[in-house]
Amino acid sequence: MEIIQKAYAKINLSLDIIKRISSGYHKIEFVIQELELHDIIKIKKIEKGIKLNCNTNICPANENLAYKAAELLIKKFKINNGVEITIEKNIPIASGLGGGSSDAAATLKGMNKLFNLNLSEEELIEISGDIGMDVPFFILGSTVHVTGRGENVKRIETMPNNIYFVLAKPKFSISTEYAYNNIDYEKTGKQLKTAEMINTIMEKDIKKIAENMHNDFEYSTFREYPIINEIKQKMIENKALNALMSGSGPTVFGITKEKAVAENICNSLKEDPYFKKNIEFVCVTQTR
């Protein structure tokens, strides 16, 4: 028996870094949105151990979040069998689109089915928090409000279906650790756009959703990596309602109501010699 799960990408529509707390972590608040772009996870029983296959080069198996998810369930529930996990990667690695966390969530869901663990959504969320900050979101999916250090997740009103996104990742990656170590504290935590983002999603007002997109990580990342802002401005010049870096970056997304506009933005990036040289991945996708 083989279980097949889709592991969807995400973007951060808002990301407020409120303050650093005494533990060294940060109090944050954001709205996160699932997209149609996805990896495919295939899981089947083997006699013992964990075997990980992938169609691209990923981190060492024991550092991979899907591997860690499988290892956690096997130990926690004393599962006698092992698993073979095959990942078909379509989400760029280390891109700010949550691919690794989504793969982990899909592995938890798949193994829950494969081994008849009968874990509820709430139980999966609690377990997933031990793997990575974004993993609980991917258990819920859709549109989610996240607070605290990232551990508190609540599904909110879903985004309108007729929204298209252009995703563009430059030819480098930014680690979450680097992003947090280089926060511009003079500028972060001032705009606090998340509450307004939730209101505009409730109103289903795409123009207002676009206007309220915000990411506190942009202040420091733009200084170090100007190409991120250049991609953002190129998208806006080509009729995106707005554009934003997702998470800790470096992927930028542009938002539009029309698929033809999204495809035009995508083509403008692919055909421009400067961006063609500096962008690793570009595609059109939409909300789910």
Instruction: Please answer whether residues 170 and 228 qualify as being in contact, where contact means their C-beta atoms are separated by less than 8 angstroms.
Output: yes
131-135, 175-179, 279-283 — most confident range:
279-283
Q: What pLDDT is stored for residue 201 in this prediction? A: 95
Q: What mean pLDDT do residues 193-218 have? A: 95
For residue 82, the one-letter residue type is G
Q: Which of 111 and 179 is assigned the larger pLDDT?
A: 111
Q: What mean pLDDT do residues 207-213 have? A: 96
Give the predicted TM-score (pTM) of the model. Answer: 0.94
SS (H, E, C) the chain: CEEEEEEEEEEEEEEEEEEECCCCCEEEEEEEEEEEEEEEEEEEEECCCEEEEECCCCCCHHHCHHHHHHHHHHHHCCCCCEEEEEEECCCCCCCCCCHHHHHHHHHHHHHHHHCCCCCCHHHHHHHHCCCCCCHHHHHHCCEEEEECCCCEEEECCCCCCCCEEEEEEECCCCCHHHHHHCCCCCCCCCCCCHHHHHHHHHHCCHHHHHHCCEECCHHHHHHHCHHHHHHHHHHHHCCCCEEEECCCCCCEEEEECCHHHHHHHHHHHHHCHHHHHHEEEEEEEEEC
Model confidence at 150: pLDDT above 80: no
Structure-block tokens of residue 138: 């991917």
- 232 among known catalytic residues: no
Q: What mean pLDDT do residues 24-35 have? A: 90
Torsions phi, psi of 144, nearest 5? -135, 140
- Active-site residue, selected from the candidate residues 10, 68, 109, 169: 10
Structure-block tokens of residue 253: 């997304």
- Label residue 176 by pLDDT band (50, 70, 90): confident
- Label residue 259 by pLDDT band (50, 70, 90): very high
- 259 among known catalytic residues: no
Model confidence at 164: pLDDT above 90: yes
Q: What mean pLDDT do residues 202-228 have? A: 95
Q: What pLDDT is stored for residue 110 in this prediction? A: 98
- Label residue 112 by pLDDT band (50, 70, 90): very high
- Active-site residue, selected from the candidate residues 16, 39, 103, 134: 134
Q: What pLDDT is stored for residue 249 in this prediction? A: 94
Q: What pLDDT is stored for residue 5 in this prediction? A: 98
Q: What pLDDT is stored for residue 233 in this prediction? A: 98
Q: What mean pLDDT do residues 189-198 have? A: 91
Least confident of 9-13, 172-176, 215-219: 172-176
| Residue range 81-101, pLDDT digits in tens | 999 999 999 999 989 999 999
Q: Is the peptide bond before 273 cis (omega within 30 degrees of 0)?
A: no
* CA 195 remoteness from chain centre: 20
Domains of the chain: 2-155 (3.30.230.10), 164-286 (3.30.70.890)
Q: What mean pLDDT do residues 198-227 have? A: 95
